[in-house]
Amino acid sequence: MYPFSFTKVSDTQGALNAGRRGGRYIAGGTTLVDLMRETVERPETLVDISALPLHEVTVTEGGALRIGALVRMAEAAAHPSVRLTYPVVSQALELSASPQLRNMATIGGNIMQRTRCAYFRDVSAACNKREPGSGCAAREGVNRTHAILGTSESCVATHPSDVAVAFAALEASVRLLGPDGARTVAFADFLLRPGSTPNREQALRKGELITAVEIPAHPRPLRSGYLKVRDRQSYEFALTSAAVALHIRGGVIREAKVAAGGVGTVPWKLPAVEQHLIGERPSKVLWAEAAEKAADGAHPLQHNGFKVELLKRTVERQLRTVGGTK
């Protein structure tokens, strides 16, 4: 460790003042403290925001589900509104990390978590995300777990969150509060692809605070679920994953929301899969045809070519599980 200052704030204005001065927000700390121990991150000032009133899960008048940024992962997963309305969110959370981590980590922190690329966490390795301009050791290194979609010459790291994949599928938005006021950013625009600046990962302005993630109201009934494929059954990140939500009425798919994890530099929405499903009747053939489109545009690296087929099979299996006709 190295010296840093620590301050605890009790209200939002205090947090924003500290954030404007360059303080780094911390709540559960399950990612940031690890990275500080490894000196990957070296913030000078930590601002503990865990006392702010952002701990509620609410349903808005319009039927949107709003999850406060400081709701713990375990609390969100168990909340009746989340479980009942969006099983895909509960399942993604319950398949993440470990029970201990889920009891500490918050929803806001979860979507802010940084990549698990081993080179990013090894301060002796070249890494454009940690040290812009230094290179990318993963490109020619061990890249079995890295991304096949949304990559750039500068970075090929995956985004590690599971619940972010569910949020992407459901077209959630992120509510922010900053020195210039409140604003809302579509989830699809919140997490940034690496491009030539992989060190910039979120569309946050200086001092901005995440206050909530909001899932819009979707037509009912909505069946949904999350499938995670990984090297071992617990406490492991996804090789591939699929978040699927389907609105089926009169035997016809009226809406389809699908995204993949473990394969993209950000949670990867699959519009071609969705379009293939809408207006069709569920069938084994339909699931297989739609899933064929899941890896469109993929650019595998030396060691992760297997993800192309694995992704298609993951999406197909989850469409079958959620949509039926097993």
> Minimal CA–CA distance to 258: which of 242, 281, 282, 276?
242
CB of 213 to ligand SF4, least distance (A): 24
CB of 208 to ligand SF4, least distance (A): 23
Strands 252-261 and 268-269: antiparallel
Which one, 114 or 257, has the nearer CB to ligand SF4?
114
CB of 140 to ligand SF4, least distance (A): 10
What residues make contact with ligand SF4 under the rule CB under 6 A?
Answer: 115, 117, 119-120, 127-129, 136-138, 155-157, 198
In whole angstroms, give the CA distance from residue 257 to residue 274: 6
In whole angstroms, give the CA distance from residue 31 to residue 83: 26
Which one, 145 or 211, has the nearer CB to ligand SF4?
145
Which one, 97 or 137, has the nearer CB to ligand SF4?
137
DSSP string, 80-99: HHHHHH-HHHHHHHHTSS-H
CB of 314 to ligand SF4, least distance (A): 22
Q: CA dihedral defined by 184, 53, 200, 204, rounded to 10 degrees? A: 30
Which one, 137 or 172, has the nearer CB to ligand SF4?
137
CB of 294 to ligand SF4, least distance (A): 22
Produce one character per residue of 67-90: b if its CB has 16 or more CB atoms within 10 Å, e if not: bbbbbbbbbbbebeebeebbbbbb
Which one, 85 or 115, has the nearer CB to ligand SF4?
115
